[in-house]
Each structure stands twice: as structure tokens, then as C-alpha cells.
Structure 1
Amino acid sequence: METGIVDLSRLQFALTALYHFLFVPLTLGMTFMLVIMEAVYVMTGRPIWREITRFWSKLFGINFAIGVATGLTMEFQFGTNWSYFSHYVGDIFGAPLAIEGLMAFFLEATMVGVMFFGWDRLSKVAHLIVTFLVALGSNLSALWILVANGWMQNPVGAEFNPESMRMEVTDFVAVLFNPIAQAKFVHTVSAGYVIASAFVLGVSCLYLLRGRHVAIASRSMTVAAAFGLAASLSVVVLGDESGYALTDNQKMKLAAIEAAWHTEPAPAGITLFGVPDFENRTTRYAVEIPWMLGLIATRSFDGQVAGMSELVLKAEERIASGVQAYDAVERLKLAPQDTQARAQFEQHKRDLGYGLLLKRTLDDPRKATPQQITAAAWDTVPSVPLMFWSFRLMAFIGFAMIALFATAFVLCSLRRHTRARWFWKLAVLALPLPWLAAELGWIVAEMGRQPWAIDGVLPTFLAPSSLSRAQLWVTLFGFTALYGGLAVIEVRLMVAAIRGGPHRHEPDTPPPGRIPATPLTA
């Protein structure tokens, strides 16, 4: 596979994925905020809370529609742009995606329609249940998508079958309860809750700045402050849990995030600031907090955090073992009953993916020299500067969100939020920050997995379809134009809805029944 084709395929998928994730987290968070607002309406019976719920559900609906439209293309890309990936691991990767569509998305999509058109046809409690089912469906969708993505990060419950030349499921329960997938799910949905809270808070503060819809904006701000504070604290706590999961399952990613070039005596310090230098394999101008990384990553004083140099040495060993697995597979192709080849494969099958790393430069990995094995081992190190700075900017925004929502919560608790003009301006300015943090989080997650499409199993350069550069450039420009147009539509619809603001809703249609007779007049 040509390097340019691999890079273009990765670029196209990255653009569509990052664009799609602009809408997903807002959907995740808005659903539960609507449940909270409508629950207040059901408990108090005050019409203003019905009005609040209907206003924010209108903005949710716009975002939901665009999110669905952008998500469909990603599903098809696995077949069009990543066909060998789909062939090689489709038995495992396809199952969570299919379950997501059948169990979660259909539930969410059906209940969304009932939620929008059932206000005057359902009782208060029944409509609240429908809104809750929308929230449940959206979060279940995220669960199954992240089970699939978590398996890419930590491929458990599956093995390579030399007879079918594919990865096959051996333990679906292990796939479902993959520690990486579970950590990613709770961290990702919490980030979505933060984004939705920042959105509601920012729009509410914009109304307060302009002196419009004050009663609705002040109440919405109170909900956003409480929900956002809980969510932002959860993001940090659950992000720490995600980091702990990396210690056992993705050591190279953790080392790259921390620019840990060498294994330090336990407990290792965490680098707050520095300039990673890949050529000299050091971090210049490093400012460290002693012990902190060891305590966070290992939950102990004596656990070590492996450095990249030592992990590269282990990768060399696994590549050499992977060559033996590759040799056994080639022999089994010619003689499936070869017991010696079968025994050799069973001994080295765990490292087959590492042997495939050599196919970037060699048609036959069995001909690799020690120098080529070393070079391939260093290819397992992701872009350290990108990982280092993306993670720190993401973490900085996370702590800034805690400060923002804590301030909002205090102001609302003291009933001073309707007079804090300085805070209103701050909340509006901070509106895009959680989106930036979420995108940075995905960059850390996906770039940190490189050079793997499936960590330790399938190198990325082997995963794409056999497409031409011309085809990829045409579709890349096509998606850019399409998504650019959708972005304009999304922004214009959102701005129009926000400018229009909440208003009293009368029943759109008369209740079901016979049309009353109209008396005749002379």
C-alpha cells in the first residue's frame, strides 16, 4: 500500500470523525438536561419549565439531525476506504456497530419523534418517560460505539484464525467488558455532559447580557451550573481512570503522553511543561512534579511507568517473535496439516501483528535484518510532541471548566447569577472550549494508537482499501464541501432558533376526534 494512499485515507476519516464529534457530545448531554428540566415541570406543574424544555429540545433537534447525517458516512467508510480492516476484524468490530443500530439508534430515533410531537397527546409523566428513553438510547449508542473503539485500543476476546486468515471472536463478554472501552465510555459521555452544560450556560448568559427571556435564562443557567459542575468533576476523575487503564494496556501511548523517554525509578514524576526532542530522545526545559505520574498511573509508590526506549526494546522482541508467527502462517497456507507449523504458530501467534509491521518496507518479513527490526520497533512510538501538548491543553481546559461551573454554581446558590454581568461575558467566551478539549481527546486516543489500526494486531498501513489517490482526493474535497455546507446550515439554524428564543407553545393541531359542526347562517 502506497504511503500517500494510507495518509489520504487516514486524513479523510479523521476529518469526518472529528466533524461528526462536534454534534455527538452535545446530543449526549442535552438529552439528560432535557430530562432534568422536564422532570422539574412534572414535579412542579409550572408552565415555564415546559417552555424551557421545549426551547432547548428545539436546539437539540437541530443538532441531532445534523449529527445523524454526518455519522452515516463514517459507517460506509469502513467498507469503501478501509475494506481490508473490515475483512480482517469485521467479525468482532461489526458486532457492536450492528447492536448499536438495532438496540440504541432505533430506540433513540423513534422516541425523538414521539418526544417532539407528543407534547399534547401524552400525559406529563408519559412524555417524561419518552424523553428519558431518548436519553437512554443516545447513551447506549455511545456505549456500543465505544465498545468497538475500545477493542481497537485493546483487542481482547479474539484470536487470529490461520484457516480463515481473519480475527475471530473467542469471548464476546471480554469484548463488552474491555477495561479500555468502559473507561472510554464514562469519560466520553461525561465530556458530552460538559459540552451540553457549557452550551446551555453560554446561551443563557447571552440572553441575560441582552436582557431577553430573563426568567427562562436564569433557570436554565441554574440547571447548567449544577449539571456542568458534576459533569466536569466526573471528566477529571474518569479521565484519571482512563490514564490508569493505559498503564496496563497501552504503555506506549502513556509514555508518549508524558514524553517518558526512559523508565524512571518509581514513583515517576509528571512533566507539567517541556519541549519533547525526538531526535535526541529527551525533553528540554522540563518542569516536573515529583512522584505524581507514578501515583496517578500505578496507584502506588513502587509501580514503574515504562519509558519509550525500554518499550521499543520489547517491541523488537515481539517483532522477532511475530516473524516466527508469520512464517508459520505461510507454511500453514501450503500445508494446513503441518503440525510443526501449527505448534510454532500457537507459540508466537500473540505477536503476529508485530511481524506485520515489517511489511511496510518488506514483502516478506522473514527476510528482515536486525536494523530493519529496530527501525520497525521505533515506528511503534507515536508523535510525542502532538501527544504531549494535546493532552496538556485538553487537561488545562478540563480544569478551567471546573472553575467555570463552580463559579456559576456559587453564583446561582447565592442568587447572584442574575446580576453577574462579568460572568455572563466569561461564559459566552468559554463556550467553544469544551468542544476543543473533546477534539483534542480524540486526537490523543487515536494518534496515540499509531502505527496500529488495531493495537498490536493490524498495522494502519495494511488496513485501507485499494483506492487511487485521485479517488481519495475527489472524495476528500467532496466531503469537505458537503460538511462545510452542513456546518453553515447548522450554524444558521441554531442562530435563528436562539434569536427567536423561547415562546409560548399552543397546540399545533386540534385533539383527535370528529370535526365539530359549523352552524349555517342565512
Structure 2
Amino acid sequence: MELNVVDLSRLQFAMTALYHFLFVPLTLGLSVLLAIMETVYVMTGRPIWRQMTKFWGTLFGINFVLGVATGIVMEFQFGMNWSYYSHYVGDIFGAPLAIEGLMAFFLEATFVGLFFFGWDRMTKVGHLVTTWAVALGSNLSALWILVANGWMQNPVGAAFNPQTMRMEVVDFFAVLTNPVAQAKFVHTVSAGYVTASIFVLGVSAWYLLKGRHADLAKRSMTVAASFGLASALSVVVLGDESGYLTTEHQKMKLAAIEAMWETEPAPAGFTLFGFPSESARETHYAVRIPWVLGLIATRSLTQQIPGIEELVAGAERNIASGIKAFDALQQIRSAGSSQAIPPAARQAFEADGHNLGYALLLKRYVDDPRQATPAQIKAAAWDTVPSVPTLFWSFRVMVGLGFFFIAFLALFFVLSARRRLDRYPLLLRLAVLAIPLPWLAAELGWVVAEVGRQPWNIEGVLPTVAGVSSLGATTVLATLVGFVAIYTVLFVIEMSLMLRAVRKGPEPDDAPEAELIPQAFAAAE
């Protein structure tokens, strides 16, 4: 098999990104749960809540450290494996990442230290503020990362400069308020809250099954069930908003998710089940629900959702327009100065420059897009279709798990309200077994988001094939193998530390004696 630098670079980044995202959801969710638990401790003065905060904080700390280690590697890959991507869009993409490091990561890292070492050195209120600062920093990190990622999905607030051959910021506020980025942020953090809630629920259920730390386990399950249920409901609502925005900004992704090969009369039906075939360009044994997709994706009864074949035909037209832009760009570049640029070339680029990225799709087949044959243009147009089976099944498993989480958390919420959490051992075993499921849903969500964006690094602007560094395939393969080996070791370390901490359980509370005195007795003194 011929080694392909683009595919190997994509595989390496996908592996490191998916591994890194094993840590992100738990960090996001546990940080907020810690703040909630400590708030209850400060309000009630009951030591059990301090003990809970410390115990879950230990698991948060293990997860946080390894999350930081794996996240740093990802940023270096932009320079190592995707140097032309970094050159082309670094002015826009780099700004949110820099702000994330300066504003969010340093804030989070600083207060994490105070959280662990400030228990007996700060007042209760001061330490509570520290814990909320950790939660704020974690969520601000997610915000800026997703502002950058959202711009890759919907590149707003930027324009291509033919003199510098780079995308440049023209409206940073538009980048910041990108609707795709905002929807991805709230959807992602809500999913993180669900992940942490089910993690806390599962570990607490294990303690109840073992007859250990019952007081801590029941209170933890009550907090996790109520917080998780609200978050799971938010994930569904915010996921609907993401789907609506996909209809506006990433029509091909939506068509691939639904395996909609041909445009249907409005409102389109939703394919509940089926087997998409890319070779036959149809979905076998499809089970469809009329009108549902049209109502969800367009929120109307009259707006059509274009199918894959119609979108491919549109891509062919965009490629033809992009070739004109590419030709005009070569004339602008060869002119030497702005005064020498032919007016016709300037006008042509202004008219067709927005489709320049489509011409770059032809780089996979020919060095000069102007020399492309009709067959190559057609092949490049079909390259705009991402892997339909991958998106079709990833989306459905993710959504199915989302509805399962709502029912699961609602059941434990009712049991906690009735104080019957320890009366159903079978449900407790189910809670333990369910611990990995939120991670599966989260990883599938990123598969839908990122595989659905292919073949683009930046949607409609820069193809993936044009963004890689000038590296040999053997070099990329060697680093890929190295990352797999290192990350496997880190995974084993992570699991060992987490399991050891869970088996050990919470430390006996070491609060000062004055904090153990009932408030009424203290007031009497």
C-alpha cells in the first residue's frame, strides 16, 4: 500500500485529538461539580461535603495533568504536520489559541494549585472562589478552542489577501460571535457535564455495591443525577441548534449524515435506519420517518434540503469558478506591484475569489488547476462528499446514547428524590457499566464534526490536501507510531492512577475541630 502523507497526517492528528478528548469532558464537568459540592460545604458547614470535594478533586487532578500533557502535543502538530495550513490561516486561527493560553489556561493552572494546597491556608469562602475560578478557567479554555474550531467549520470575519497569500482577520468580533462556534461551545461543555455526572454516578454506585462510603456515595449520586439530567436535556436542545446551523453553513455534512443522495420535496423525511452504499449511491433497507428532518433542520414545511448529487453539481460549478479565480491570482502575483495588476484580473478575482478553495481541490490530481480535465473536475467535485457510512452511523449511535442518558439520569434523579438509591443493585451495576458510554458519545460527536468537514481544513477555503507540510510519508509514519506508543503508556498510567484512587476512597476528613461544631452550639458560645 502506498503511504500517503495527507492521510497519515490526518490519522496522526485524529489519534492525538481523540485521545486528548478523553480527558477534556471529565475536566469540564468535574470542575463544575467540585464547585457545586464545595458551595454546599460552605453554606452548610457539614464536613462530608468537604470530604466529597477533596475526593473528587483528586480524580480531577489526575485527569487534568494528563489532559494538559496530551493537549500540548496537538498544538505542535500545526507547525510540524500542517505548516501550510498554519501559514495560510494562522492570523485567524492562532489568535483564539493564544488567548486561550493567556486568559484561560494560566488562570486554570494557577487556581488548580491553590485548590489542592490552599485548604488549610485560605478561608472557606476564599477557597470556594478558587474552586469556581478553576471551573471558569476550564470552560474558558473550551470556549477559545471551539472559537478556533468553529471558524474552521464556518470561516467568517476573514478575507484572502492575494499579495500575502494568506487569510487575514477583517472582523475579529465576527470570529468571536460565530454562531457555529457558539453552538459547538455550549453543546460540547454540556456533553462534558453529562460525562462527569455519569462518571460520578458510576463510581458512587460501585461504592454502594461494595458497602463502602455510603454517605459520600449517596450525596454524590444526588448531585450528579440532578446536574447530569439538566445537562443531558441541554445537550439535546443545543444539538438541535447545531443541526439547524449545519443546514445553513455545511449542507454537504448534513446530506452525508442523513445519507440523502437526492433532493426530496420539502419537508424531507428522516432516515431512522439503513445501510448507505457509496458505490451504489443509495441507502439500502432505509426506514424513514416523514417530515422529521425537514422540520428539525429547516424549522419549516417548505424549505428544501439539497441532496448529495445536487451539492456535487454545485461543487462542479464552484470549481469552474475557482479556476477563473486561480488564473486571476496568477496574473496578480506575476504583476509585481498593485499598479501593474491588469484590471480584468482584479475584477475576475473579486468576482470568483470566494471559490478559490474549490480550485485547490484539483491539486490532488494536477499541479496547475487550469490544466484540469472535465473528468478531474468531476472527481474533485465528488471529493467534497465525506464518508457517508461513517457519518450516518456515528450520528445515530451518538443521538441514541444521548436519549439513553436522559432516561438513565432521570431514573436516578427520581431514586435520589425518594432516597432509594441503594435499593436496586441491578441499576447500580448498570451505572458502573455505563461509565464509558459518555466518552463514546463524545468521541463520535467529534467524528461527525471533523470527518463531516472533509475534504476541507477550512470549509470552502483550504482543502486538507493543500494544508500539509512537506514531509516524507515515512517520517510521519514513524512519529505516528511513536505517539501511539507514548499515548498507550499514558493511558495505562491514567487508568492505574484513577483506579487506585477510587479503590482507596476518600481520606478521613481533617477539617479543624471548630468546623465540626454545630452552628447552633457555636452561636451559643
Q: Could you say which TM-score interval applies, normalised by the shorter chain?
A: over 0.9
What is aligned with 2:523? none
1:3 positional shift: 6.8
Amino acid at match of 1:430: A
Residue 62 (1) aligns with residue 66 (2): no
1:10 positional shift: 0.6
Q: Residues 3 and 334 (structure 1 numbering): CA distance in 2 closer, same or farther, change over 3 Å?
A: farther
CA distance in 2, matches of 1:89, 1:422: 53
Amino acid at match of 1:448: G
Matches for 1:10-49 after TM superposition, within 5 Å:
10-49=10-49
CA distance in 2, matches of 1:357, 1:468: 21
1:506 positional shift: 3.1
Mean CA deviation greater in 338-347 or 383-392: 338-347
Amino acid at match of 1:235: V
What is aligned with 2:504? 500
Residue 279 (1) aligns with residue 283 (2): no
What is aligned with 2:185? 185
Which runs of 4 or more aligned residues in structure 1 lie more than 4 Å from their structure 2 counterparts after TM superposition? none
The answer as to whether partners of 2:20 and 2:70 remain within 8 angstroms in 1 is: yes
What is aligned with 1:230? 230
What is aligned with 1:407? 411
1:137 positional shift: 0.4
What is aligned with 2:386? 382
Matches for 1:262-411 after TM superposition, within 5 Å:
262-335=262-335, 336=337, 337-338=340-341, 339-411=343-415
Mean CA deviation greater in 242-251 or 464-473: 464-473
The answer as to whether partners of 2:160 and 2:167 remain within 8 angstroms in 1 is: yes
Amino acid at match of 2:452: G
Which of 431, 447, 452 is equivalent to 1:448?
452
Deviations 1:205-231 (A, max 9, x none): 000000000010011010010011011
The secondary structure found in structure 2 opposite 1:267 is coil
The answer as to whether partners of 2:232 and 2:402 remain within 8 angstroms in 1 is: yes
Which of 425, 431, 443 is equivalent to 1:439?
443
Which of 468, 488, 491 is equivalent to 1:484?
488
Gaps of 5+ in 2: 513-525
CA distance in 2, matches of 1:260, 1:124: 57
CA distance in 2, matches of 1:26, 1:126: 24
What is aligned with 2:86? 86
CA distance in 1, matches of 2:419, 2:144: 41
The answer as to whether partners of 1:3 and 1:461 remain within 8 angstroms in 2 is: no
The secondary structure found in structure 1 opposite 2:227 is helix
CA RMSD, aligned part only?
A: 1.1
Amino acid at match of 1:483: Y
Amino acid at match of 2:468: P
The answer as to whether partners of 1:263 and 1:304 remain within 8 angstroms in 2 is: yes
Mean CA deviation greater in 499-508 or 432-441: 499-508
1:282 positional shift: 1.1
The secondary structure found in structure 2 opposite 1:15 is helix
Amino acid at match of 2:249: N
The secondary structure found in structure 2 opposite 1:467 is coil
CA distance in 2, matches of 1:347, 1:160: 13
CA distance in 1, matches of 2:122, 2:463: 53
Amino acid at match of 2:108: E
What is aligned with 2:259? 259
The answer as to whether partners of 1:256 and 1:382 remain within 8 angstroms in 2 is: yes
Mean CA deviation greater in 330-339 or 109-118: 330-339
CA distance in 2, matches of 1:350, 1:189: 33
Amino acid at match of 1:211: G
1:507 positional shift: 7.2
Deviations 1:424-451 (A, max 9, x none): 0110011100100000000010000000
TM-score (norm 2): 0.95
Which of 459, 466, 478 is equivalent to 1:462?
466
1:294 positional shift: 0.3
1:349 positional shift: 0.7
CA distance in 1, matches of 2:424, 2:409: 14
What is aligned with 1:130? 130
The answer as to whether partners of 1:97 and 1:145 remain within 8 angstroms in 2 is: yes
Which of 470, 474, 477 is equivalent to 2:478?
474
The answer as to whether partners of 2:47 and 2:509 remain within 8 angstroms in 1 is: no
The answer as to whether partners of 1:268 and 1:293 remain within 8 angstroms in 2 is: yes
CA distance in 2, matches of 1:33, 1:109: 18
Gaps of 5+ in 1: 509-522
The answer as to whether partners of 1:34 and 1:53 remain within 8 angstroms in 2 is: yes
CA distance in 2, matches of 1:317, 1:97: 35
1:505 positional shift: 3.9
Deviations 1:370-421 (A, max 9, x none): 2221111111000000000000011111111111101100100111112221
CA distance in 1, matches of 2:251, 2:15: 27
TM-score (norm 1): 0.96
The secondary structure found in structure 2 opposite 1:283 is strand
The answer as to whether partners of 2:402 and 2:441 remain within 8 angstroms in 1 is: yes
What is aligned with 2:518? none
The secondary structure found in structure 2 opposite 1:30 is helix
Q: Residues 184 and 126 (structure 1 numbering): CA distance in 2 closer, same or farther, change over 3 Å?
A: same
Deviations 1:82-127 (A, max 9, x none): 1010001000000000000001000000000011111111111111
Deviations 1:474-504 (A, max 9, x none): 2111111111111111111101100110122
What is aligned with 2:96? 96
Matches for 1:105-184 after TM superposition, within 5 Å:
105-184=105-184
CA distance in 1, matches of 2:509, 2:487: 33
Aligned length: 507
1:277 positional shift: 1.4
CA distance in 2, matches of 1:256, 1:170: 32
Counting aligned pairs with the same residue, the percent is 68
CA distance in 2, matches of 1:188, 1:152: 16
